[in-house]
């Protein structure tokens, strides 16, 4: 298989792109589930609970398999897992799902993808990282493209109050996910990519189900078959696979570079939105797509240094498990 002969950086870049593809479809699954005809549309907490329930068997199996030959986690390890699990796929997801009840999938992508800049900022302020010129240039290209691609959506937004509410929730999701992304790199070095990811997702699942139990009646889990189908698709293709791909990419190329490559996601969401949701496609969006792709290619062509300014010690030399 050709990828077996790829360099660690090239494989990390490919994994980050595939993860962006999977994550970009999440908003489409959510909007499709909200649009399923029924007397009361599925709410955000119930939909997130279904997503996590369908994801649970995969993460439970990987967590057991990756940790059975390793020493039990110490108190610091559990603290990292619980804190990042609550920030990442519980806190970030619940705010994102609520925001999608108010704004379009395209606008959600624009706001959510402020997280790469937030990830870099967190790394610089709290983790001793240093942004390189190449990464800053890629960041400027990508965000110029995102802004151009979605300027039309912002201009034609109807209900300003709804947009502000939705935007506030989605920006909160971006902040929460940026802390998860920045903190996951040292956690992966310490615990291993598969073990950390599985345990963090199990924490997120428990928190999500506790939230559901505290706020929703059990019968709200009874939904039409299309809702289950969208939730299952979201669990497999927009949660399980891209989550592990993201962790593997972070292991190889670092959190900030993985986040920057993830800016490809909004462009993919544009085309999925046009294809499946009937959202308009404009020249502004096409121009934005070109700029984002240029930023992604700029990152992908960068060479790995033994001491990357954003990675601190190279994780490739660490004793990591299950990847």
What local confidence, expressed as pLDDT, does residue 153 receive? 63
Alpha-carbon gap, residue 40 to 292, rounded angstroms: 38
What local confidence, expressed as pLDDT, does residue 148 receive? 76
The lowest-confidence range among 238-252, 272-286, 297-311 is 297-311
Q: How confident is the model at residue 95 (pLDDT cuts 50, 70, 90)?
A: very high
Q: Looking at residues 190-204, what average pLDDT do you find?
A: 84
What local confidence, expressed as pLDDT, does residue 256 receive? 73
Locus of tokens 């870049």: 13
pLDDT at 166 over 50: yes
User: 3-class SS at 246?
Assistant: helix
**Cβ pair 92, 104 in contact under 8 A:** no
What local confidence, expressed as pLDDT, does residue 109 receive? 77
User: 3-class SS at 73?
Assistant: coil
Q: How confident is the model at residue 156 (pLDDT cuts 50, 70, 90)?
A: low
What local confidence, expressed as pLDDT, does residue 308 receive? 44
The lowest-confidence range among 39-48, 59-68, 151-160 is 151-160
Per cent of the chain over pLDDT 90 is 27
Answer with the residue of higher pLDDT: 153 or 145. Answer: 145
Answer with the residue of higher pLDDT: 301 or 220. Answer: 220
What are the tens digits of pLDDT across the range 205-236? Answer: 999 999 999 999 999 999 999 999 999 999 99
Q: How confident is the model at residue 152 (pLDDT cuts 50, 70, 90)?
A: low
What local confidence, expressed as pLDDT, does residue 155 receive? 67
Q: Looking at residues 71-99, what average pLDDT do you find?
A: 88
The lowest-confidence range among 9-13, 85-89, 301-305 is 301-305
What local confidence, expressed as pLDDT, does residue 307 receive? 35
Answer with the residue of higher pLDDT: 72 or 13. Answer: 13
**Cβ pair 91, 279 in contact under 8 A:** no
Q: Looking at residues 39-53, what average pLDDT do you find?
A: 92
Q: How confident is the model at residue 305 (pLDDT cuts 50, 70, 90)?
A: very low
Residues with Cβ within 8 Å of 33's Cβ and at least 6 positions away in sequence, in order, are: 42, 47, 226, 227, 230, 231, 234
Question: What Å distances lie between residue 155 and 125, 158, 292, CA to CA?
Answer: 34, 9, 20
Alpha-carbon gap, residue 46 to 202, rounded angstroms: 17
**Cβ pair 196, 83 in contact under 8 A:** no
**Cβ pair 67, 195 in contact under 8 A:** yes
What are the tens digits of pLDDT across the range 262-297? Answer: 778 777 887 888 888 877 777 777 787 788 778 766
Give the residue among 247, 236, 255, 242 at the shortest CA–CA distance from 199: 247
**Cβ pair 323, 68 in contact under 8 A:** no
C-alpha radius of gyration, the chain, whole number: 19
Provide the terminal-to-terminal Cα distance of the chain, rounded to the nearest Å.
Answer: 17
Q: Looking at residues 188-213, what average pLDDT do you find?
A: 87
Determine the Cα angle at 280 with ends 296 and 236, to 5°. 55
Q: What is the mean pLDDT of the chain?
A: 80
Structure token pair of residue 119: 């990830």
Q: Looking at residues 141-164, what average pLDDT do you find?
A: 71
pLDDT at 59 over 60: yes
Structure token pair of residue 142: 């990508």
Give the residue among 38, 35, 59, 66 at the shortest CA–CA distance from 230: 35
Structure token pair of residue 68: 């059975």
Assign 3-class secondary structure to 94-117. HHHHHHCCCCCHHHHHHHHCCHHH
Alpha-carbon gap, residue 242 to 20, rounded angstroms: 7
CB atoms within 10 A of CB 175: 17
What are the tens digits of pLDDT across the range 97-113? Answer: 999 888 877 778 778 87
What are the tens digits of pLDDT across the range 1-22? Answer: 666 677 888 898 999 999 989 9
């Amino acid at each position: 298989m050709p990828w077996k002969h790829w360099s660690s950086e090239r494989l990390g870049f490919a994994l980050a792109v595939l993860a962006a593809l999977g994550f970009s479809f999440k908003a489409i699954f959510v909007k499709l589930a909200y649009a399923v005809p029924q007397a009361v549309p599925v709410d955000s907490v119930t939909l997130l609970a279904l997503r996590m329930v369908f994801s649970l068997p995969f993460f439970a199996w990987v967590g057991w398999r990756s940790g059975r030959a390793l020493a039990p986690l110490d108190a610091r390890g559990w603290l990292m897992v619980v804190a990042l699990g609550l920030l990442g796929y519980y806190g970030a997801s619940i705010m994102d799902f609520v925001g999608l009840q108010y704004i379009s999938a395209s606008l959600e992508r624009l706001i959510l993808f402020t997280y790469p800049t937030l990830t870099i900022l967190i790394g610089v302020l709290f983790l001793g990282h240093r942004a390189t010129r190449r990464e800053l240039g890629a960041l400027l290209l990508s965000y110029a493209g995102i802004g151009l691609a979605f300027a039309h959506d912002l201009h034609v937004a109807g209900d300003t109050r709804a947009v502000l509410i939705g935007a506030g929730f989605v920006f909160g999701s971006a902040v929460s996910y940026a802390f998860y992304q920045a903190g996951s790199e040292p956690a992966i070095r310490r615990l291993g990519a598969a073990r950390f990811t599985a345990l963090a997702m199990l924490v997120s699942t428990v928190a999500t189900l506790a939230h559901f139990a505290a706020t929703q009646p059990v019968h709200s889990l009874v939904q039409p078959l299309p809702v289950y189908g969208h939730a299952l698709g979201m669990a497999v293709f927009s949660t399980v696979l891209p989550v592990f791909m993201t962790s593997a990419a972070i292991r190889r190329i670092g959190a900030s570079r993985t986040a920057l490559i993830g800016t490809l996601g909004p462009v993919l969401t544009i085309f999925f939105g046009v294809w499946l949701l009937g959202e308009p496609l404009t020249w502004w969006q096409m121009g934005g797509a070109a700029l984002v792709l240029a930023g992604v290619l700029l990152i992908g062509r960068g060479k790995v240094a033994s001491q990357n300014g954003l990675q601190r010690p190279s994780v490739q030399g660490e004793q990591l498990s299950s990847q």
